[in-house]
């Protein structure tokens, strides 16, 4: 089955700086890569996703990049704000079947 690894497990940045979270996957059949944000006391929420036919996708301060050859994808958050503090999960899926999640990154944005 698929194996998704996520790094780092914790990340602390100063407000206004950028944050990058990286994930690798093992199954070349995976073709859909969502990112989720989980705030305290809530379930994870989809924030951005990318399909394997696209190398990069951007939505305001958030961007995701995908390198199919190397089997890795990354989440980039620019101009971080305290409300970006949360746990972030990457995931990989083949044709929207079962999703395989990374182990999570706890992001702390210091004001």
49 binds another protein (CB under 8 A): yes
90 with 102: CB under 8 angstroms? yes
109 with 80: CB under 8 angstroms? yes
Q: What is the DSSP string of 54-78?
A: -SEEEETTEEEEEETTTTEEEEEE-
Q: Work out how close the CB of 81 gets to another protein at its nearest, in angstroms, rounded to a whole number.
A: 22
Residue 66 bridge partners (DSSP) = 73
Nearer to another protein, 69 or 95 (CB): 95
84 with 62: CB under 8 angstroms? no
Q: Work out how close the CB of 96 gets to another protein at its nearest, in angstroms, rounded to a whole number.
A: 5
Q: Work out how close the CB of 42 gets to another protein at its nearest, in angstroms, rounded to a whole number.
A: 6
Residue ranges that bind another protein, judged by CB under 8 A: 1, 32, 34, 36, 38, 41-46, 49, 87, 89, 91, 93, 95-96, 98-99, 101, 103-104, 106
């Amino acid at each position: 089955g698929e194996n998704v690894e996520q790094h780092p497990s914790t990340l602390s940045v100063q407000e206004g700086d950028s944050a990058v979270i990286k994930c690798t996957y093992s199954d070349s059949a995976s073709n859909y890569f969502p990112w989720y944000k989980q705030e305290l006391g809530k379930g994870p929420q989809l924030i951005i996703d990318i399909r394997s036919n696209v190398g990069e996708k951007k939505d305001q301060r958030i961007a995701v990049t995908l390198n199919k050859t190397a089997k890795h994808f990354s989440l980039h958050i620019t101009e971080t704000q305290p409300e970006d503090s949360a746990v972030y999960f990457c995931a990989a899926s083949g044709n929207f079947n079962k999703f395989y999640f990374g182990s999570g990154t706890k992001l702390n944005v210091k004001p």
